[in-house]
A = this chain, B = another copy of it.
Amino acid sequence: MNRKLRMGMVGGGQGAFIGAVHRAGAAIDGIIELVCGALSSTEEKAKASGRALFLPEDRTYGSYEEMFKAEAALPADQRMDFVSIVTPNNAHFGPTMMALEHGFHVMIDKPLAFTLDEARQIAAKVKETGLLLGVTYTYAAYPMVKQARHMFQSGVFGKMRKVYVEYPQGWLSSLLEATGNQQAAWRTDPARNGAAGGIGDIGTHAANLAEYISGHRISHVCADINITVPGRKLDDDGNLLLRFDNDARGVLMVSQVAAGDENPLKIRVYGEKGGIEWEQQEPNTLIVKWLDRPAEIYRAGGNHGYLSEIALANCRTPAGHPEGYFSAFANIYRNFAQTLSKRMAGETPSEIDLDFPDAEEGVRGLAFIDTVLASAKSDQKWTAHM
């Protein structure tokens, strides 16, 4: 490609947190430019948000419908290439389907959709159109997570036996949604967040990470899901026993009432000969344990010759210059963009290019919610997962 990829955005207007993160992630490598947006569901706010981002007025749209139509009508050398969708969960399906129908590739903030049925429709549309769709399961995008996956795949640990994955947050320890906090309000509202609370919001990240690193799929769950804070409408705490497709066992813990915890998503996976430990708050370190010798401290860093090719491809700095949340988003956008550019140029993307979460992973996330909610209602210990 001899030009930047042109990105549009749906959602992410003023005050929205995740939209800004997507834009930062897309900007870091200098290969994507934001050219248009339908940044808010209210036209006035959409316009103001467009001005704040210095978008041209004629490409600051009042609605996504308007945007897709207008952009599709532009000459090919001006039209946006793909759209980034960062609306609340209940507003994922509409713009995603319409984007695909108008020929635009899609990057969408997790979850892929509001319901499993919607997710499946989207996945079918992706297949039908042959367009590219990425979903920001961010945490799997860190280089040390990729190193961990690589090590399990390479067999150095032997058979995978055990997974502990935990995601305790504390920010919903009180009835924050009753205080005017907007973030809390939509995250705890079934009409906007979906049928699940914490399980959907963060539990799906934990499940995705467990499957990504271990290379195995969760086959059964036994879920204890609860509403801890009186007056809340969605689950804010959940504990799950897991079985994997190779009969390995695991535990998945999620909480939004772990008072004092920020965002310490952590995973440990064990094989016969050793295992790994990784924590999102210090993402550049991977502890590698061995049965008969000292544990090792693997560290992110483009100059670390001992890292796997796929881990190195997702490092931007030399060792000791910490990369964080923005870099994880940048990795997803960069891999997505490289895949897209190569396809547009008639080239074949590499395995490293293709290493970003796709519609299938998005469907699996929604299915996980359904399985967990079914298990939560059941008196039986185990519920099968798709």
Chain B residues contacting A237 (CB-CB under 8 Å) are 161-162, 249
Q: Mark A267-281, 1 if CB is under 8 A from B, else 0.
A: 010111111000011
* Shortest Cβ distance from residue A77 to the other chain B in the assembled complex, whole angstroms: 14
Chain B residue nearest in CB terms to A250:
B239
Is the CB–CB distance between A289 and B257 below 8 Å?
Answer: no
A21 in complex: contacting residue of B3, B260, B317, CB < 8 Å: B317
| A380 CB-CB contact with B under 8 Å | yes
| Contacting residues, chain B, for A296 (C-beta < 8 A) | 293-297
From B30, B241, B321, B380, contact of A224 by CB (8 A): B241
Per-position 1/0 for A148-164, Cβ under 8 A of B? 00000000010001101
Q: How far is the CB of A220 from chain B (nearest CB, A)?
A: 10
Q: Does A90 contact B (CB under 8 A)?
A: no
Contacts of A323 in B (CB 8 A): 324-326
Proximity bits, A293-322, B CB within 8 Å = 1, else 0: 111111101010110000000001111111
Cα distance A297–B282 when bound, in Å? 15
B260 engages A295 (CB within 8 Å): yes
Determine how many copies of this chain the complex contains.
Answer: 4
Beyond A297-B297, A323-B326, whether A259 also contacts B282 by CB under 8 A is no
Q: Chain B nearest CB: distance from A380 CB in Å?
A: 6
Q: Which of A360-386 contact B (CB under 8 A)?
A: 378-382
Contact with B along A49-65 (1 / 0, CB 8 A): 00101100000000000
The reply to whether A239 and B228 contact each other, CB–CB distance below 8 Å, is: no
Most chain B CB neighbours (cut-off 10 Å) among A34, A170, A259, A264: A259
* Separation of A161 and B294 alpha carbons in the complex (Å): 24
Asked if A353 lies at the interface with its beta carbon under 8 angstroms from chain B, I say no
A258 → chain B, closest Cβ, in Å?
Answer: 5
B30→A28 contact, CB < 8 A:
no
> What are the residues of chain B within 8 A of A117 when measuring CB–CB?
none
A187 within 8 A of B: no
Nearest B residue (CB) for A383: B381
Contacts of A14 in B (CB 8 A): none
Q: Indicate which residue in B253, B261, B289, B381 contacts A251 across the interface (CB closer than 8 Å).
A: B253
For chain A, which range describes its interface: under 10, 10 to 19, 20 to 34, or 35 or more residues?
Answer: 35 or more
Closest to A273 in B: B259
When chains A and B are docked, how far (Å) is the Cα of A164 from the Cα of B168? 10
Q: Is the CB of A30 within 8 A of B53?
A: yes
Task: Answer whether A291 and B170 are a contact pair too, CB < 8 Å, given A322-B325, A323-B324.
Answer: yes
Chain B CB within 8 A of A290 CB: yes
Q: Which residues 207-238 of A have a CB within 8 angstroms of B?
A: 222, 224, 226, 228, 237
Residue in chain B with minimal CB distance to A25: B28
Q: Is A284 an interface residue (CB 8 A)?
A: yes
Within 8 Å CB of A260, what residues of B? 270, 274-275, 289-291, 295
- Cβ distance A6 to chain B, nearest Cβ, rounded Å: 11
Return the contact of A297 from the options B157, B166, B264, B294 (Cβ within 8 A): B294
Q: Is the CB of A322 within 8 A of B249?
A: no
Interface membership of A174, Cβ < 8 A: yes
A residues in contact (CB < 8 Å) with B: 2-4, 17, 20-21, 23-24, 27-31, 34, 51, 53-54, 157, 161-162, 164, 166, 168-171, 173-174, 222, 224, 226, 228, 237, 239, 241, 243, 249-251, 253, 255, 257-264, 268, 270-275, 280-284, 287-299, 301, 303, 305-306, 316-327, 378-382
